[in-house]
Amino acid sequence: MNTFTIHRLHAREILDSRGRPTVWAECALASGVTGAASTPSGASTGRAEASELRDGEAGRYGGLGCRRAVENIRGTLHEQLQGRVFATQAEFDAELRRIDGTPTLGRIGANATVAVSLAFARAGAAQRGVPLYQHFADLAGRPLRTLPRLTVNLFSGGKHAGEQAPLQDILVVPKRAATTGDALADVAAVYRSAADLIWKKYQQRLLRADEGGLAPLFPDAEAMLGDAVAAITAAGFAAGTDVALAVDVASSHFYRGGRYQLCREPLTPEAMIDRIDAWTRRYPLVSVEDGLSEDDWTHWPALRARLAGRCLTLGDDLLCTQPQRINRAVASGAADALLLKVNQVGTLSDAGEAAALARAAGWKITVSARSGDTEDDWLADLAVGWGAEFIKVGSITQSERLAKYNRLLAIEEATGLPLCPLP
């Protein structure tokens, strides 16, 4: 049996794409190989997410420093794990949980455990002499079959763009393109035509949000969706058949007192569902993420029932990649797609359990980056290895995003795998 003996765990504080600290970790195995990985960080976070450990030192990075999380890896985790032999990733991750001892991983810090868990996976792949995507596929016990389809940020609002526009992300979903390479070319054409349109309509150029989406002062949600369709058409594509759209409403962030404050228009949950339904009939949407709030469990099943068969009901803040929340959503019919973010749950194995539950329920999976991300590209390998239908990384103008797209191109070349069939 192939076992993995820990030789050394190391870590350092690095910066993410927002200029905030995050954690980089390295795992050296006794066999002489090493693997390293870094942890991303959200801004539009769900309340049920695993806990990042931040230093809280007001005079340094506004309290967001990660030196304690780093020290926990160099100290506690290194000391307790050095020399230990693990047969599987699941055993290793269970040990991280045991050492932390809290349900949200807040003592060691989920920002520490994510980096260590992924660094162990990278070292494991290196020891086995297989590419990381193959290692992820083997961990999940599934053959490599397809590459994920791209969902790429075009317009941004909400918490990623100073709350200037109501919808957090309007994403472009290439449909006509048969490869990742061609899909990126189509996305770039739409992005260019959107930038022109924004200049003509709003006299705004190069105002980019955290994930690289264009972020003018859209008057309302319909303008965001309508302008996206106009950009697709102006680039010479048929909207809906060549290139479609997806939206992340991120509505937990404007849900107050049982009402959705969409553009200061207080909507009841029923009215919000009607509004989303109208968008899906008027615009070529393939997926609606967080159409309702993370607290509005009662109304999610009605939303899913309304969209079923036409458009995916994708849960991000609602589910937080947490197995218990996914079980609840499956039981109540609250969603039919999972947005998977490893750092929402804290270890690779927990995220794997979340993916397996979603699969067993017949759901689709979108593997997602965070709005604060790094140049690390493990997410591309994860999306391929776990056979995700979609990947959500952000726009095509910033290197922390491009690292993932460029890694997908390399995997596409190496494997020759086809894109996932459209749902």
User: Nearest-CB residue to Zn ion?
Assistant: 316
Q: How far is the CB of 334 from ligand PGA (least distance, A)?
A: 17
- Find which of ligand PGA, Zn ion, none residue 14 binds, CB within 5 to 8 Å per kind: none
Q: Please, are residues 252 and 290 in contact by the beta-carbon 8 Å criterion?
A: yes
CA Rg value for the chain:
21
- 2: three-class secondary structure by DSSP: coil
Residue of the chain from 16, 52, 93, 248 that contacts ligand PGA (CB under 6 A): 248
Distance CA 97, CA 103 (A): 8
Is 211 annotated as catalytic? yes
**C-alpha angle 299-322-352 in degrees, rounded to nearest 5:** 130
**Does the protein bind Zn ion through residue 316 (CB under 5 A)?**
yes
What separation in angstroms does the CA of 18 have from each of 60, 232, 287, 347? 15, 29, 27, 23
Residue of the chain from 17, 38, 39, 44 that contacts ligand PGA (CB under 6 A): 44
| Token representation of residue 324 | 């218990």
Catalytic residue, candidates 26, 52, 211, 389:
211
Residue of the chain from 52, 210, 248, 389 that contacts Zn ion (CB under 5 A): 248
- Find which of Zn ion, ligand PGA, none residue 395 binds, CB within 5 to 8 Å per kind: none
Measure CA of the first residue to CA of the last residue in the chain; give whole Å: 39
| Token representation of residue 134 | 């193959």
Distance CA 224, CA 51 (A): 33
Catalytic residue, candidates 175, 341, 364, 404:
341
Label each residue of 350-367 as H, E or C. Answer: HHHHHHHHHHHCCCEEEE
Size of the site for Zn ion (CB under 5 A): 2
**Does the protein bind ligand PGA through residue 42 (CB under 6 A)?**
yes
In the range 334-373, which residues lie near ligand PGA by CB under 6 A?
A: 368, 370-371
In the block, which residue shows the tokens 């947490």?
322
In the range 40-79, which residues lie near Zn ion by CB under 5 A?
A: none
In the range 135-174, which residues lie near ligand PGA by CB under 6 A?
A: 168
Amino acid at 338: L
- 117: three-class secondary structure by DSSP: helix
Is 404 annotated as catalytic? no
- Find which of Zn ion, ligand PGA, none residue 81 binds, CB within 5 to 8 Å per kind: none
> From residue 305 to residue 324, what is the string marking binding to ligand PGA with x (rule CB under 6 A)?
-----------x--------
**Does the protein bind ligand PGA through residue 52 (CB under 6 A)?**
no
Interface residues with ligand PGA (CB under 6 A) are 42-45, 168, 248, 250, 316, 368, 370-371
Interface residues with Zn ion (CB under 5 A) are 248, 316
